[in-house]
């Protein structure tokens, strides 16, 4: 067996180093390990492959996946990724860098994170953004913990039933182990209920409510009165957002929200079977020191030049250990770079245009699908952008199968018995018409 390409050690190197250490063999370096724990015999692993064999094998695996036109969103959106993004993010100075603790040799990372923070503040309208989080659902779970930490003696956090199902599940998991009681806000008419919120808040134990800006039905929610109801009882309003849509929809700041969180995958990240994605969190200034995760700030060096550093670290686990605001150590730095480059390229106009094409496509598709007579509209009067649900008149399994065979991933089943569709700027009118044609034939 040839030497592995990743190990530079020659036999002579190994011998010279062993001599310096004063042991006879590599095995002797483990002389302090009780014998019974030393693994004898080969590991149950495949034989080493050559690089060419690895490439071939992964091509084979890749071919086993379906390659479909995606007409589904539900928290993961098939927006276009400009060619510049992977070109920049694959630069090894970004890709292979460690966390920027040594700021003198990490100004590249620190600067793009500062830009990322600035851009997310611009999108949400809020004051402070951290350096990014694992994904949208975990950002929501962190917001739940923050709501409890920011309000005295309040023990309960409210979740809208119109949040995406996977967001609710992750928040529930964190709540169970963190000891947070949850309450739920109904959304029977396709929009989180203000009346239910007011009634829950009056009970006096509510620390905050997490509500979707654009919800699981694709509906753009009206949150008039939400902040007033919560703030009257010193509880926090948390908006869960798709930041791509914030180019056009009313911002968390305009709803007077205290915290905004969400999934920033929609800002240029590939679907990649669910990850790596990137969660974001922005907050009002008052809550800065309760925020989880890394934060980059601007300062000067000894020569007075503008430089950037990780700051407010007294909140974090490596300083505070069990008293930290969160256990989070890393961020999704490289994915934050994807987002930053995406937003730089798109600018305010490009992002608006993405929303316009997507919304026009979705409205067109919805109208065409309703015209087939095979669906009922569920929330006919509610405003939406790129995503909507319909109620199928018959069991949709056969239709879904036909769509897959024709090359479409569409009509995703929802918990409520609806089917969900999404159109992004990547979908053409021809593809959309083709999809409708298959539905008609069905």
Name which of 154 and 366 has its Cβ closer to another protein.
Answer: 366
CA dist 46 → 6, 37, 42, 43 (Å): 18, 22, 10, 9
> Near another protein by CB under 8 A, which window of 194-202, 233-241, 243-251, 372-380?
243-251
**Binder among 104, 152, 395, 415 for another protein (CB under 8 A):** 104
How far, rounded to the nearest angstrom, does the alpha carbon of residue 80 sit from its chain's CA centroid?
A: 16
Q: Would you count residue 35 as binding another protein (CB under 8 A)?
A: no
> Near another protein by CB under 8 A, which window of 34-42, 151-159, 204-212, 233-241?
34-42
Q: Which tokens in the block code for residue 393?
A: 């008149």
Q: Would you count residue 395 as binding another protein (CB under 8 A)?
A: no
**Binder among 11, 65, 153, 405 for another protein (CB under 8 A):** 65
Question: Cα–Cα distance between 144 and 152 in angstroms, integer?
Answer: 14
Q: Would you count residue 184 as binding another protein (CB under 8 A)?
A: no
Q: Kindly identify the residues of this chain, within the stretch 200-219, that bind another protein according to CB under 8 A.
A: none
**Binder among 394, 429, 437, 440 for another protein (CB under 8 A):** 429
Contact 156, 182 (CB under 8 A): yes
CA dist 89 → 112, 308, 310, 340, 430 (Å): 11, 20, 21, 10, 33
Closest CA to 282 of 150, 121, 110, 171: 121
Q: Report in angstroms how near the CB of residue 196 gets to another protein at its nearest.
A: 20
Pairing of strands 69-70, 408-409: parallel
Q: Kindly identify the residues of this chain, within the stretch 311-330, that bind another protein according to CB under 8 A.
A: 311-314, 316-324, 326-330
Q: Which residues of 339-438 form beta strands (DSSP E)?
A: 375-377, 387-392, 408-409, 412-413, 419-422
Q: Kindly identify the residues of this chain, within the stretch 249-308, that bind another protein according to CB under 8 A.
A: 249-251, 254, 263, 270-278, 288, 294-303, 305-307
Binding letters toward another protein, positions 138-157, x by CB under 8 A:
x------x------------
How far, rounded to the nearest angstrom, does the alpha carbon of residue 151 sit from its chain's CA centroid?
A: 26
**Does residue 244 have a cis bond before it (omega within 30 degrees)?**
no
> Near another protein by CB under 8 A, which window of 122-130, 151-159, 195-203, 226-234?
122-130
Q: Would you count residue 407 as binding another protein (CB under 8 A)?
A: no
Q: Would you count residue 237 as binding another protein (CB under 8 A)?
A: no
Q: Would you count residue 11 as binding another protein (CB under 8 A)?
A: no
**Does residue 34 have a cis bond before it (omega within 30 degrees)?**
no
Contact 307, 293 (CB under 8 A): no
> Near another protein by CB under 8 A, which window of 193-201, 204-212, 234-242, 427-435?
427-435
Q: Would you count residue 136 as binding another protein (CB under 8 A)?
A: yes
Q: Report in angstroms how near the CB of residue 125 gets to another protein at its nearest.
A: 8
């Amino acid at each position: 067996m040839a030497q592995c390409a990743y190990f530079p050690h020659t036999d002579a190197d190994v011998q010279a180093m062993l001599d310096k250490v004063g042991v006879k063999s590599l095995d002797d370096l483990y002389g302090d390990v009780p014998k019974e724990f030393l693994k004898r015999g080969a590991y149950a692993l495949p034989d080493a492959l050559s690089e060419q064999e690895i490439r071939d094998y992964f091509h084979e695996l890749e071919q086993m996946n379906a390659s479909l036109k995606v007409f589904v969103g539900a928290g993961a959106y098939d927006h276009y990724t400009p060619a510049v993004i992977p070109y920049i993010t694959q630069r090894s100075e970004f890709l292979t860098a460690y966390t920027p603790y040594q700021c003198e040799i990490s100004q590249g990372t620190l600067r793009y994170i500062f830009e990322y923070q600035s851009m997310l503040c611009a999108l949400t309208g809020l004051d402070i953004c951290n350096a990014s989080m694992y994904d949208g659902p975990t950002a929501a779970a962190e917001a739940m913990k923050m709501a409890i930490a920011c309000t005295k003696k309040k023990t309960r956090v409210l979740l809208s039933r119109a949040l995406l199902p996977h967001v609710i599940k992750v928040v529930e998991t964190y709540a169970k182990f963190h000891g947070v009681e949850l309450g739920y806000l109904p959304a029977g008419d396709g929009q989180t209920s203000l009346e239910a919120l007011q009634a829950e808040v009056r009970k006096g134990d509510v620390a905050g409510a997490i509500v979707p800006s654009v919800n699981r039905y694709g509906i753009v929610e009206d949150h008039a009165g939400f902040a007033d109801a919560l703030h009257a009882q010193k509880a926090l309003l948390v908006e869960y957002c798709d930041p791509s849509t914030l180019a056009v929809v009313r911002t968390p700041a305009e709803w007077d929200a205290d915290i905004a969180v969400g999934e920033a995958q929609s800002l240029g990240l590939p679907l990649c079977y669910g990850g790596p994605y990137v969660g974001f969190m922005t907050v009002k200034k008052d809550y800065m020191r309760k925020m989880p995760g890394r934060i980059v700030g601007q300062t000067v060096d000894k020569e007075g030049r503008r430089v950037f550093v990780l700051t407010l670290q007294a909140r974090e686990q490596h300083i505070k250990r069990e008293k930290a605001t969160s256990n989070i150590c890393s961020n999704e730095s490289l994915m934050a770079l994807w987002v930053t480059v995406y937003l730089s390229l798109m600018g305010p106009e490009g992002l608006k245009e993405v929303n316009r094409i997507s919304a026009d496509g979705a409205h067109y598709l919805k109208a065409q699908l309703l015209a087939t007579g095979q669906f009922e509209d569920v929330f006919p009067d509610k405003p939406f952008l790129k995503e909507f649900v319909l109620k199928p008149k018959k069991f949709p399994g056969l239709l879904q199968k036909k769509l897959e065979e024709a090359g479409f991933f569409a009509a995703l089943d929802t918990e409520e018995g609806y089917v969900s569709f999404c159109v992004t700027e990547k979908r053409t009118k021809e593809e959309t018409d083709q999809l409708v044609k298959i539905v008609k034939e069905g």
